[in-house]
Amino acid sequence: TAMEMPRTIHDFGGFPQALFDVDYPAPGNPLLAKETAEILLPVLVEEDHEWGLDHGAWSVIKHMYPEANIPVIQMSIDYTQPAQYHFELAQRLQKLREKGILIIGSGNIVHNLRLIDWRNINTVGAGWDWAIEAREKTNSWLLDGDFSRLINYQDQSTALQIAVPSPDHYLPLMYTLGLKHTSEDLHLFNDELIGGSLSMKSVMIK
């Protein structure tokens, strides 16, 4: 997004009306969008002047900055590219971190909407066996710094394949990992399964 005032986009269906009523009027930052595109050359990143902020951005940021007073740009992900591509692309965004810009990879590691256990949709800690296994393994790899297994997630156990049925929610993790300095610590929080097949586990680098 490269607009002065990106609109709030509700790109989902079947959820409570309260989510569709959300408006997150954070300002954009066209200059930062342009700088980001230049940093990533020769990878072509087109500046978008129509889309705005979708739920991948505002559903997270609104809890961090509820007054919507922090400029935000959103970068889309090319799902046709492998995880290694995204990991390496993230490393080139290090210049933005060095300038004090917060970079968030918004997604989920365990995210299989088709296998939700609706009886336990609000039960914290409820997870299918495969979800529990995927959580335990990815936690171990994250905390041990074994990023190669996370990058090559498609070569891992069946449990992880079920946890990541499509790359759209998983690949943002590559940007978080790709931006980590070896001297920095990695922390996990909000690390609980819910509804059998979902996890909002968050990874923080500092």
pLDDT of residue 143: 96
pLDDT of residue 84: 98
How far apart (Å, rounded) are the C-alpha atoms in residues 19 and 6? 18
Alpha helices in 21-171 (DSSP H): 30-39, 55-64, 83-91, 94-98, 129-144, 147-151, 158-163
The mean pLDDT value for 159-175 works out to 96
Long-range residue pairs from 93-101, CB within 8 A, at least 24 positions apart, any chain: 93/36, 93/39, 93/40, 93/175, 93/178, 93/179, 94/179, 95/39, 96/32, 96/35, 96/36, 96/39, 97/179, 101/32
- pLDDT exceeds 90 at position 1: no
- pLDDT exceeds 90 at position 15: no
Q: 90-129, pLDDT tens digit by residue?
A: 999 999 999 999 999 999 999 999 999 999 998 999 999 9
Burial of 71 (0-12, 13-18, 19+ CB in 10 A): middle
How far apart (Å, rounded) are the C-alpha atoms in residues 163 and 197? 7
In the structure, what pLDDT confidence band is assigned to residue 2 with cuts at 50, 70 and 90? confident
The mean pLDDT value for 7-15 works out to 90
Contact 111, 163 (CB under 8 A): yes
In the structure, what pLDDT confidence band is assigned to residue 154 with cuts at 50, 70 and 90? very high
Contact 196, 111 (CB under 8 A): no
pLDDT of residue 13: 85
Residues sharing a CB contact under 8 Å with residue 117, sequence separation 6 or more, in sequence order: 126, 128, 195, 196, 197
Alpha helices in 40-121 (DSSP H): 55-64, 83-91, 94-98
pLDDT of residue 56: 92
Question: Which tokens in the block code for residue 49?
Answer: 């002047």
Q: Tell me the pLDDT of the chain averaged across its residues.
A: 95
Of 110, 89, 82, which Cα lies nearest the Cα of 36? 89
